[in-house]
Amino acid sequence: MQRLWDLIRDRNFVFLAALVLGLAAGHGAVYTQRLVVPALAVVMTLATLSISGQIFKYPRVLIRPALTGLILSYILQGGVILLLAWWLVDDPAYFQGLVVLAAVPPAVVVMPLAVVLDGDPDYSLVALSGAYLGGLVLIPLTFLAFFGSEHLFRHELFIIVLMLIAAPMAISRFLIWRGWEGPLLRWRGGITNWGFFLALYTIVGLNRHVFLHEPWALLHLIFLALASSLILGELVMWVARRRGVRLRRAKALMMIASMKNYGLASGLCLALFGSAAAVPTTVATIVFVPYLLWISWRLKVGRS
Protein backbone atom coordinates (compact mmCIF):
# COMPACT_ATOMS: atom_id res chain seq x y z
CA MET A 1 0.00 0.00 0.00
CA GLN A 2 2.85 2.37 0.83
CA ARG A 3 4.45 1.71 -2.56
CA LEU A 4 1.19 2.56 -4.31
CA TRP A 5 0.90 5.76 -2.27
CA ASP A 6 4.47 6.72 -3.16
CA LEU A 7 3.76 6.01 -6.83
CA ILE A 8 0.71 8.26 -7.09
CA ARG A 9 2.72 11.07 -5.44
CA ASP A 10 5.67 10.64 -7.82
CA ARG A 11 5.86 13.60 -10.19
CA ASN A 12 7.30 11.64 -13.12
CA PHE A 13 4.62 8.94 -12.85
CA VAL A 14 1.85 11.54 -12.64
CA PHE A 15 3.12 13.44 -15.70
CA LEU A 16 3.54 10.21 -17.70
CA ALA A 17 0.04 9.07 -16.68
CA ALA A 18 -1.42 12.40 -17.83
CA LEU A 19 0.34 12.10 -21.19
CA VAL A 20 -0.76 8.49 -21.78
CA LEU A 21 -4.33 9.09 -20.63
CA GLY A 22 -4.60 12.24 -22.75
CA LEU A 23 -3.52 10.31 -25.84
CA ALA A 24 -5.59 7.18 -25.12
CA ALA A 25 -8.76 8.72 -23.66
CA GLY A 26 -8.56 12.42 -24.37
CA HIS A 27 -12.25 12.84 -25.11
CA GLY A 28 -12.85 13.84 -21.50
CA ALA A 29 -10.65 16.90 -21.92
CA VAL A 30 -13.60 18.98 -23.13
CA TYR A 31 -15.13 18.50 -19.69
CA THR A 32 -11.96 19.20 -17.69
CA GLN A 33 -10.97 22.31 -19.65
CA ARG A 34 -12.85 24.67 -17.33
CA LEU A 35 -11.15 23.17 -14.28
CA VAL A 36 -7.60 23.89 -15.45
CA VAL A 37 -7.32 27.52 -14.29
CA PRO A 38 -8.86 26.90 -10.81
CA ALA A 39 -6.57 23.88 -10.36
CA LEU A 40 -3.52 25.91 -11.35
CA ALA A 41 -4.62 28.68 -8.97
CA VAL A 42 -4.49 26.17 -6.10
CA VAL A 43 -1.07 24.97 -7.29
CA MET A 44 0.26 28.53 -7.45
CA THR A 45 -1.09 29.33 -3.98
CA LEU A 46 0.67 26.32 -2.48
CA ALA A 47 3.86 27.09 -4.41
CA THR A 48 4.07 30.68 -3.18
CA LEU A 49 3.90 29.50 0.44
CA SER A 50 7.68 29.14 0.02
CA ILE A 51 8.01 32.92 -0.37
CA SER A 52 8.44 34.28 3.13
CA GLY A 53 7.32 37.78 3.97
CA GLN A 54 10.64 38.31 5.75
CA ILE A 55 12.41 38.91 2.45
CA PHE A 56 10.56 42.21 1.96
CA LYS A 57 11.87 43.78 5.20
CA TYR A 58 15.07 45.05 3.57
CA PRO A 59 14.08 46.14 0.06
CA ARG A 60 17.41 47.78 -0.80
CA VAL A 61 19.23 44.46 -0.48
CA LEU A 62 16.67 42.77 -2.73
CA ILE A 63 16.96 45.03 -5.76
CA ARG A 64 19.90 43.33 -7.48
CA PRO A 65 18.72 39.68 -7.22
CA ALA A 66 15.14 40.69 -8.08
CA LEU A 67 16.35 42.49 -11.21
CA THR A 68 18.54 39.50 -12.05
CA GLY A 69 15.48 37.24 -11.89
CA LEU A 70 13.59 39.59 -14.21
CA ILE A 71 16.45 39.81 -16.70
CA LEU A 72 17.18 36.08 -16.80
CA SER A 73 13.57 34.94 -17.12
CA TYR A 74 12.05 37.61 -19.33
CA ILE A 75 14.87 39.13 -21.36
CA LEU A 76 17.25 36.16 -21.70
CA GLN A 77 15.02 33.07 -21.72
CA GLY A 78 12.00 34.94 -23.05
CA GLY A 79 14.16 36.48 -25.76
CA VAL A 80 15.54 33.07 -26.79
CA ILE A 81 12.01 31.65 -27.00
CA LEU A 82 10.78 34.57 -29.13
CA LEU A 83 13.82 34.50 -31.40
CA LEU A 84 13.47 30.77 -32.04
CA ALA A 85 9.70 31.16 -32.48
CA TRP A 86 10.26 33.83 -35.12
CA TRP A 87 12.79 31.59 -36.88
CA LEU A 88 11.08 28.19 -36.63
CA VAL A 89 7.31 28.62 -36.22
CA ASP A 90 4.85 29.44 -39.00
CA ASP A 91 1.61 28.40 -37.32
CA PRO A 92 -0.05 31.54 -35.83
CA ALA A 93 -1.58 29.60 -32.93
CA TYR A 94 1.78 28.06 -32.00
CA PHE A 95 3.42 31.48 -32.19
CA GLN A 96 0.79 32.88 -29.84
CA GLY A 97 1.51 30.10 -27.38
CA LEU A 98 5.25 30.78 -27.49
CA VAL A 99 4.72 34.49 -26.89
CA VAL A 100 2.70 33.58 -23.80
CA LEU A 101 5.45 31.18 -22.70
CA ALA A 102 8.06 33.92 -23.06
CA ALA A 103 5.91 36.28 -20.98
CA VAL A 104 5.40 34.08 -17.90
CA PRO A 105 7.74 33.99 -14.87
CA PRO A 106 10.03 31.08 -13.89
CA ALA A 107 8.75 27.72 -12.71
CA VAL A 108 7.90 27.59 -9.02
CA VAL A 109 9.88 24.35 -8.77
CA VAL A 110 13.04 26.50 -8.78
CA MET A 111 12.60 27.13 -5.07
CA PRO A 112 12.48 23.53 -3.77
CA LEU A 113 15.24 22.58 -6.21
CA ALA A 114 17.40 25.41 -4.88
CA VAL A 115 17.02 23.94 -1.38
CA VAL A 116 17.65 20.33 -2.39
CA LEU A 117 20.55 21.07 -4.75
CA ASP A 118 22.18 23.82 -2.65
CA GLY A 119 21.42 26.47 -5.24
CA ASP A 120 21.65 29.51 -2.94
CA PRO A 121 18.02 29.32 -1.70
CA ASP A 122 17.92 32.88 -0.32
CA TYR A 123 19.08 34.38 -3.60
CA SER A 124 16.76 32.10 -5.59
CA LEU A 125 13.81 33.13 -3.43
CA VAL A 126 14.36 36.85 -4.00
CA ALA A 127 14.98 36.41 -7.73
CA LEU A 128 11.85 34.27 -8.07
CA SER A 129 9.77 36.78 -6.09
CA GLY A 130 11.02 39.64 -8.27
CA ALA A 131 10.12 37.74 -11.42
CA TYR A 132 6.58 37.01 -10.18
CA LEU A 133 5.92 40.55 -9.07
CA GLY A 134 7.34 41.79 -12.36
CA GLY A 135 5.02 39.43 -14.21
CA LEU A 136 2.03 41.48 -13.07
CA VAL A 137 3.33 44.26 -15.34
CA LEU A 138 5.33 42.39 -17.97
CA ILE A 139 2.63 39.92 -19.01
CA PRO A 140 0.18 42.70 -20.02
CA LEU A 141 3.01 44.68 -21.68
CA THR A 142 4.07 41.65 -23.71
CA PHE A 143 0.50 41.08 -24.82
CA LEU A 144 0.22 44.73 -25.82
CA ALA A 145 3.46 44.54 -27.84
CA PHE A 146 2.58 41.36 -29.75
CA PHE A 147 -1.21 41.23 -29.83
CA GLY A 148 -2.21 44.88 -29.51
CA SER A 149 -5.00 46.15 -27.32
CA GLU A 150 -7.38 43.45 -28.60
CA HIS A 151 -6.16 40.95 -26.01
CA LEU A 152 -4.76 43.41 -23.48
CA PHE A 153 -8.19 44.68 -22.51
CA ARG A 154 -9.97 41.34 -22.54
CA HIS A 155 -11.39 40.61 -19.13
CA GLU A 156 -10.06 37.03 -19.36
CA LEU A 157 -6.47 38.28 -19.21
CA PHE A 158 -7.17 40.31 -16.09
CA ILE A 159 -8.94 37.37 -14.44
CA ILE A 160 -6.18 34.88 -15.31
CA VAL A 161 -3.36 37.14 -14.07
CA LEU A 162 -5.39 37.85 -10.95
CA MET A 163 -6.16 34.16 -10.31
CA LEU A 164 -2.72 32.76 -11.13
CA ILE A 165 -0.35 35.43 -9.79
CA ALA A 166 -1.92 38.16 -7.65
CA ALA A 167 -4.48 36.09 -5.73
CA PRO A 168 -2.11 33.19 -4.92
CA MET A 169 0.48 35.64 -3.59
CA ALA A 170 -2.13 37.40 -1.44
CA ILE A 171 -3.76 34.18 -0.18
CA SER A 172 -0.42 32.59 0.67
CA ARG A 173 0.55 35.71 2.68
CA PHE A 174 -2.70 35.37 4.63
CA LEU A 175 -2.14 31.65 5.28
CA ILE A 176 1.39 32.30 6.53
CA TRP A 177 0.20 35.21 8.69
CA ARG A 178 -2.43 32.95 10.29
CA GLY A 179 0.08 30.11 10.73
CA TRP A 180 -1.99 27.69 8.62
CA GLU A 181 0.71 26.75 6.12
CA GLY A 182 2.03 23.72 8.05
CA PRO A 183 -0.63 21.13 7.11
CA LEU A 184 -0.79 22.47 3.56
CA LEU A 185 2.96 22.10 3.06
CA ARG A 186 2.73 18.40 3.95
CA TRP A 187 0.25 17.83 1.13
CA ARG A 188 1.69 20.36 -1.30
CA GLY A 189 3.70 17.92 -3.41
CA GLY A 190 0.78 15.60 -4.15
CA ILE A 191 -1.72 18.40 -4.78
CA THR A 192 0.72 20.17 -7.08
CA ASN A 193 1.44 17.04 -9.12
CA TRP A 194 -2.24 16.24 -9.63
CA GLY A 195 -3.05 19.84 -10.46
CA PHE A 196 -0.49 19.63 -13.25
CA PHE A 197 -1.94 16.22 -14.19
CA LEU A 198 -5.28 17.87 -14.86
CA ALA A 199 -3.69 20.63 -16.96
CA LEU A 200 -1.43 18.27 -18.93
CA TYR A 201 -4.20 15.71 -19.55
CA THR A 202 -6.56 18.44 -20.75
CA ILE A 203 -4.11 20.01 -23.19
CA VAL A 204 -2.89 16.69 -24.57
CA GLY A 205 -6.47 15.44 -24.85
CA LEU A 206 -7.64 18.54 -26.70
CA ASN A 207 -4.74 18.22 -29.16
CA ARG A 208 -4.41 14.44 -29.31
CA HIS A 209 -4.82 14.39 -33.10
CA VAL A 210 -1.62 16.42 -33.44
CA PHE A 211 0.36 14.23 -31.05
CA LEU A 212 -0.95 10.98 -32.60
CA HIS A 213 -1.17 11.77 -36.31
CA GLU A 214 1.34 14.59 -36.88
CA PRO A 215 4.18 14.02 -34.39
CA TRP A 216 6.79 15.12 -36.95
CA ALA A 217 5.11 18.54 -36.98
CA LEU A 218 6.22 18.98 -33.36
CA LEU A 219 9.95 18.40 -33.91
CA HIS A 220 10.70 22.12 -34.18
CA LEU A 221 8.82 22.72 -30.91
CA ILE A 222 10.85 19.98 -29.20
CA PHE A 223 14.07 21.61 -30.41
CA LEU A 224 12.87 25.01 -29.20
CA ALA A 225 12.01 23.58 -25.79
CA LEU A 226 15.44 21.93 -25.48
CA ALA A 227 17.28 25.04 -26.64
CA SER A 228 15.45 27.34 -24.21
CA SER A 229 15.93 25.02 -21.23
CA LEU A 230 18.78 22.50 -21.37
CA ILE A 231 21.11 24.34 -23.75
CA LEU A 232 20.42 27.79 -22.32
CA GLY A 233 20.84 26.54 -18.75
CA GLU A 234 24.20 24.96 -19.52
CA LEU A 235 25.33 28.15 -21.25
CA VAL A 236 24.36 30.29 -18.26
CA MET A 237 26.21 27.93 -15.92
CA TRP A 238 29.33 28.03 -18.13
CA VAL A 239 29.34 31.83 -18.38
CA ALA A 240 28.70 32.26 -14.65
CA ARG A 241 31.56 29.95 -13.68
CA ARG A 242 33.90 31.57 -16.22
CA ARG A 243 33.15 34.95 -14.62
CA GLY A 244 34.01 33.64 -11.16
CA VAL A 245 30.48 33.29 -9.80
CA ARG A 246 30.31 30.90 -6.84
CA LEU A 247 28.86 27.47 -7.63
CA ARG A 248 25.83 27.93 -5.36
CA ARG A 249 24.93 31.22 -7.05
CA ALA A 250 25.64 29.78 -10.52
CA LYS A 251 23.17 26.96 -9.85
CA ALA A 252 20.49 29.49 -8.96
CA LEU A 253 21.15 31.50 -12.12
CA MET A 254 21.05 28.35 -14.23
CA MET A 255 17.67 27.26 -12.89
CA ILE A 256 16.02 30.68 -13.08
CA ALA A 257 17.20 31.18 -16.67
CA SER A 258 16.05 27.79 -17.95
CA MET A 259 12.67 27.03 -16.35
CA LYS A 260 9.38 28.69 -17.24
CA ASN A 261 6.04 28.27 -15.47
CA TYR A 262 4.51 25.98 -18.08
CA GLY A 263 1.32 25.51 -16.08
CA LEU A 264 0.65 29.24 -15.98
CA ALA A 265 1.45 29.55 -19.69
CA SER A 266 -0.91 26.69 -20.52
CA GLY A 267 -3.71 28.26 -18.49
CA LEU A 268 -3.30 31.58 -20.28
CA CYS A 269 -3.22 29.88 -23.68
CA LEU A 270 -6.36 27.84 -23.04
CA ALA A 271 -8.32 30.79 -21.69
CA LEU A 272 -7.28 33.39 -24.27
CA PHE A 273 -6.33 31.65 -27.51
CA GLY A 274 -7.70 28.08 -27.47
CA SER A 275 -6.23 24.61 -27.24
CA ALA A 276 -3.98 24.84 -30.31
CA ALA A 277 -2.00 27.68 -28.74
CA ALA A 278 -1.31 25.42 -25.76
CA VAL A 279 0.49 22.80 -27.90
CA PRO A 280 3.93 24.49 -27.54
CA THR A 281 3.54 24.77 -23.77
CA THR A 282 2.51 21.11 -23.62
CA VAL A 283 5.56 20.06 -25.64
CA ALA A 284 7.73 22.21 -23.35
CA THR A 285 6.15 20.56 -20.29
CA ILE A 286 6.90 17.10 -21.67
CA VAL A 287 10.52 18.11 -22.36
CA PHE A 288 10.70 19.68 -18.90
CA VAL A 289 10.19 16.33 -17.12
CA PRO A 290 13.47 14.71 -18.34
CA TYR A 291 15.17 18.10 -17.98
CA LEU A 292 14.24 18.10 -14.28
CA LEU A 293 15.82 14.67 -13.93
CA TRP A 294 18.91 15.84 -15.79
CA ILE A 295 19.39 19.04 -13.81
CA SER A 296 18.87 17.19 -10.51
CA TRP A 297 21.67 14.77 -11.45
CA ARG A 298 23.82 17.48 -13.04
CA LEU A 299 23.80 19.83 -10.06
CA LYS A 300 24.22 17.05 -7.52
CA VAL A 301 27.32 15.94 -9.40
CA GLY A 302 28.51 19.54 -9.48
CA ARG A 303 28.08 19.79 -5.72
CA SER A 304 30.16 16.69 -4.97
Where along the chain do its domains lie?
Answer: 2-303
Fold of domain 2-303: Na+/H+ antiporter like fold (1.20.1530)
pLDDT confidence of residue 226: 96
Residue 288's nearest CA partner among 200, 233, 229 is 229
Please state the pTM of the whole predicted model: 0.81
pLDDT confidence of residue 156: 66
The pLDDT > 90 percentage for the chain reads 27
pLDDT confidence of residue 304: 44
| Residue scoring higher pLDDT (224 or 143) | 224
pLDDT confidence of residue 1: 64
pLDDT in tens, 255-265: 999 999 888 88
Query: What residues pair up with 106 in beta bridges, in sequence order?
Result: 260
> 267: helix, coil or strand?
helix
Q: What is the CA radius of gyration of the chain?
A: 18
- Length of the chain, please? 304
Kindly report the backbone phi and psi dihedral angles of residue 167, in degrees, each rounded to the nearest multiple of 5, phi listed first: -65, -45
pLDDT in tens, 261-295: 888 888 888 888 888 898 999 889 888 878 887 88
pLDDT band at 2 (very low <50, low <70, confident <90, very high): low
| Residue scoring higher pLDDT (304 or 180) | 180
